[in-house]
């Protein structure tokens, strides 16, 4: 269990990070400059907060009010920084065993060999970092961090410098290591796909603060604010005003269109709101096909005004009938669905926003919001 609540001023930047993590992989996600790496350094003991608390498995590593600041080497926290920080003059085996203390020679050799086997580094024991690939260097760095059996493992952008094929392999290996060693992991990334693939929970950081933390599906599909929705790439982030809030849900006026959405206890008639739906959740209704239950509401006529082709599908931009906007909605479609819908020829479409998939938030300039920020 990790508990973090720290403050640190660095010039004009104010780090004010508070989050917790259990027996899981917790991801610190956010743009460059959000304070993610600084947070890891504070947890590891490399950066001293101005005030606050860091507690690992019930043991206090830092507590400004009690005057506690345990040195980094005594915290039993494994830390892999960006760039891995391997010693260039040492072999793989010596790099891995460098931080071991209190063990005799045979015990150290046994512990190092365990890590070599765990990280698939057999046969590389006598090589130096310059003789290794990027993926092999990453494995050595992980082995060095894990060899002393830490209470907590901190990984700062661990796969950023690797190509996608190696990243995919190492992500799976990290999940396997997590299951085998049962160590809490805090991982920093600005890659949304990586955050979702690896994180049991995600804390979204921006400008030194945690904007939302929770299970990955909660953060991804139900962002706490417009800013979080932007950071998790919801794409369709819309503004409207509540017309009615009843037992069957909200009715929102969106640019003169009535949109049905789930009930929200804090929303009142006349209140401005933001709402979002992911581009992958917007449905294009096939002509002549019976509507699914979710397609009986929020069906609008529009026209495809732009298409971006990616490796796996299309991102299409739709302007709704009567709109003066460049586009109103974005929709992600696999390539085979794009052609099945005949969108290569017919650009007029009916689209459906399933009410159950719409997430409502307080308007960006409002003080009130949905109180759903916990883990």
Same-domain check for residues 161 and 290: no
Same-domain check for residues 146 and 265: no
Same-domain check for residues 313 and 213: no
Q: Is-contact 332 280, C-beta < 8 A? A: yes
Q: Is-contact 197 168, C-beta < 8 A? A: no
Q: Residue 91 in 3-state DSSP? A: coil
Domain end residue (candidates: 175, 209, 227) = 227
Q: Is 374 part of any domain?
A: no
Poorest-confidence range of 75-89, 158-172, 298-312? 158-172
Interacting residues of 153 by C-beta distance below 8 A, sequence separation 6+ = 77, 78, 79, 80, 145, 146, 183, 184, 185, 186
- Strands annotated E in 227-371: 236-246, 249-254, 257-261, 272-277, 283-285, 299-309, 313-320, 329-334, 348-352, 359-362
Beta bridge partners of 301: 350
pTM across the whole model: 0.90
Q: Is-contact 375 213, C-beta < 8 A? A: yes
Q: Is-contact 292 360, C-beta < 8 A? A: no
Q: Is 367 part of any domain?
A: no
Band the pLDDT of 150: cuts 50, 70, 90.
very high
Band the pLDDT of 181: cuts 50, 70, 90.
confident
Our count of domains for the chain comes to 2
State the pLDDT at residue 288.
62
Pairing of strands 25-29, 201-206: parallel
Q: Tell me what the pLDDT averaged over the chain comes to.
A: 92
Cα 217 to Cα 202: distance, rounded to the nearest angstrom: 9
Q: What percentage of the chain exceeds 90 in pLDDT?
A: 82
Sheet containing strand 13-21, edge to edge, reads: 68-69, 59-63, 51-56, 2-10, 13-21, 209-215, 201-206, 25-29, 184-189, 152-156, 77-80
Band the pLDDT of 369: cuts 50, 70, 90.
very low
Same-domain check for residues 42 and 183: yes
Same-domain check for residues 48 and 180: yes
State the pLDDT at residue 346.
87
Same-domain check for residues 222 and 265: no
Q: Is 373 part of any domain?
A: no
State the pLDDT at residue 17.
97
pLDDT at 368 exceeding the cut of 60? no
Q: Which residues of 330-369 are buried (b: 16+ CB within 10 A; e: fewer)?
A: bbbbeeeebeebebeeeeebebbbbbebbbbbbbbeeeeb
State the pLDDT at residue 366.
58
Same-domain check for residues 313 and 166: no
Domain end residue (candidates: 206, 227, 248) = 227
Poorest-confidence range of 24-28, 272-276, 288-292, 309-313? 288-292
Same-domain check for residues 209 and 253: no
State the pLDDT at residue 102.
76
Q: Is 195 part of any domain?
A: yes
Structure tokens at 313: 């599908």
State the pLDDT at residue 205.
98
Cα 232 to Cα 118: distance, rounded to the nearest angstrom: 34
Q: Is 369 part of any domain?
A: no
Structure tokens at 324: 């003066």
State the pLDDT at residue 232.
97
Same-domain check for residues 167 and 117: yes
Cα 59 to Cα 61: distance, rounded to the nearest angstrom: 6
Burial of 60 (0-12, 13-18, 19+ CB in 10 A): middle
Q: Is 169 part of any domain?
A: yes
Q: Is 368 part of any domain?
A: no
Same-domain check for residues 250 and 215: no
Polymer length of the chain? 375
State the pLDDT at residue 371.
37
> Which CATH number characterizes residue 172's domain?
3.40.50.300
Cα 88 to Cα 348: distance, rounded to the nearest angstrom: 61
Q: Is 258 part of any domain?
A: yes
Interacting residues of 109 by C-beta distance below 8 A, sequence separation 6+ = 97
Domain end residue (candidates: 207, 227, 247) = 227
Provide φ and ψ at 95, rounded to 5°. Answer: -60, -45
Same-domain check for residues 116 and 191: yes
Same-domain check for residues 204 and 67: yes
Question: Which of these, 147, 47, 168, lies nearest to 101 by C-alpha position?
Answer: 147
> Count of CB atoms within 10 A of residue 89's CB?
10
Q: Is-contact 42 33, C-beta < 8 A? A: no
State the pLDDT at residue 162.
84
Supply the range of the domain harboring residue 293: 234-362
pLDDT at 106 exceeding the cut of 60? yes
């Amino acid at each position: 269990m990790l508990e973090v609540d720290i403050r640190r001023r660095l010039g004009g930047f104010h780090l004010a990070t508070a989050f917790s993590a259990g027996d899981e992989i917790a991801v610190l996600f956010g743009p460059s400059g959000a304070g993610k790496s600084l947070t890891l350094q504070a947890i590891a003991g490399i950066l001293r907060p101005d005030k606050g608390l860091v507690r690992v498995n019930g043991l206090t590593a830092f507590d400004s009010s009690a005057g506690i600041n345990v040195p980094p080497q005594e915290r039993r926290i494994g830390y892999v920084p960006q760039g891995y920080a391997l010693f260039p003059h040492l072999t793989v085996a010596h790099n891995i065993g460098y931080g071991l203390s209190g063990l005799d020679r045979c015990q150290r050799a046994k512990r190092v060999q365990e890590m070599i086997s765990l990280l698939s580094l057999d046969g590389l024991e006598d090589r130096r970092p310059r003789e290794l690939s990027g993926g092999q260097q990453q494995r050595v760095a992980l082995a060095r961090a894990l060899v002393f059996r830490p209470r907590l493992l901190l990984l700062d952008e661990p796969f950023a410098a690797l190509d996608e094929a190696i990243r995919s392999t190492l992500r799976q290996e990290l999940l396997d290591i997590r299951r085998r060693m049962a160590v809490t992991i805090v991982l920093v990334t600005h890659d949304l796909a990586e955050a979702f693939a690896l994180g049991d929970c995600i804390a979204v950081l921006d400008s030194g603060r945690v904007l939302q933390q929770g299970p990955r599906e909660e953060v991804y599909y139900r962002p706490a604010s417009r800013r979080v929705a932007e950071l998790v790439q919801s794409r369709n982030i819309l503004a409207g005003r509540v017309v009615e809030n009843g037992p069957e849900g909200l009715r929102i006026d969106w640019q003169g269109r009535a949109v049905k959405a789930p009930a929200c206890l804090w929303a009142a008639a006349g209140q401005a709101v933001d709402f979002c739906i992911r581009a992958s959740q917007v449905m294009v209704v096939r002509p002549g096909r019976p509507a699914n239950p979710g397609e009986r509401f929020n069906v609008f006529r529009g026209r495809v005004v732009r298409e971006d082709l990616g490796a796996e599908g299309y991102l299409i931009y739709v302007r709704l009938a009567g709109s003066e906007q460049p586009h109103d909605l974005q929709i992600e479609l696999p390539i085979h669905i794009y052609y099945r819908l005949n969108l290569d020829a017919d650009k007029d479409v009916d689209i459906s926003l399933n009410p159950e998939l719409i997430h409502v938030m307080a308007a960006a300039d409002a003080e009130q919001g949905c109180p759903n920020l916990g883990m």
